[in-house]
Amino acid sequence: MTTTKDQKTALIVGAGDHLGAAIARRFGREGFHIVATRRRGDLSNLVEEIETSGSRACGFHSDARDEQQVAELIEKVESEIGPIDVAVFNVGGNVRFGILETTARVYRKSWEMCAFAGFLVGREVARRMLPRKSGTILFTGASASLRGAAGFAAFAGGKHALRALAQSMARELGPQGIHVGHVVVDGLIENRSTEQLFPDLVASKPEDGIIQPDHLAEIYWQLHNQPRTAWTFELDARPYSEPW
C-alpha cells in the first residue's frame, strides 16, 4: 500500500455516502491517492469507484472521537501511503431534540463528533504538516455554525465550537504555510438522512433547491487550489432559493 513519489495524498475523515464520498471522488479525479475513513459503513464501493477512474484509494474504519485511533490513522497514512497534502474533516453529528429532551449523552456525543473529533484530526494532521510548511486542512460546517435554531442546541453547540477551532488554527497555522478553511453548508444536501430528518422541508424545495454533493465538493477542490496570496478562510454555500 504505497504511493508513487509524485502522487499527492488526500485524507477524507467522514467519507460518508454523499458529501464525503463526493469530495473523495473530486480529489481522486485529480490524481490524489485517496484515504477515505468513517466510523462504520461500507467503503469498498467508494474505493472501487475511485480506482476504476484511474486513481488510487484505500478505506479505513476509524473513530475520529478516539485520540489513539486518530493518532494511529495519521501515522499509518504518513508512513505507509505518503505525506498528507489535504485533510478534510467532514464528520456530521446533526441531531434534533427539543431542549428538554436533549440528554447529556446526546449533547456530549454531538459535541464529540462535531468539535472534539475535529480537534483531534486537525491537531494530528497539523503535527505532520508543520515541518513541511505546506498543506490544506478543511472543515465542514453548517448553518448551525453561525446560528442556533429550535431543536438544534446540541448540533449548534458542536458546530460553533468547530468553527472556533478552525478560526484559531487558521490564525496560528496560516503564517506557517498551512491553509485552514471552513465551509459553511447553509442548506439541505441531497441524501437519505436529509429526507428522513426534514421530509416536509425537502418536499417544499423548488427545482435545484437542494445542494448536490458533487457541486459542493467542487468548492473544497477550489479552496485547496487557491494561491497563498489570497487564501479564503470561510466560504458559505447555499442553493439559489435559500433565504439569507
- Give the angle 109-112-113 at the CA atoms, nearest 5°: 90
The grid coordinates of residue 236 equal 458559505
Reported pTM: 0.93
Banded model confidence at residue 229, pLDDT cuts 50, 70, 90: very high
Average pLDDT value for residue range 44-62: 95
Average pLDDT value for residue range 52-81: 96
Average pLDDT value for residue range 43-54: 94
Domains identified in the chain and CATH numbers: 9-236 (3.40.50.720)
Banded model confidence at residue 243, pLDDT cuts 50, 70, 90: confident
Contact 122, 90 (CB under 8 A): no
Phi first, then psi: give them for residue 121, nearest 5 degrees: -65, -45
Q: DSSP for 5-35, please give it.
A: TT--EEEEET--TTHHHHHHHHHHHTTPEEE
**Whether the predicted pLDDT of 40 surpasses 70:** yes
**Whether the predicted pLDDT of 4 surpasses 80:** no
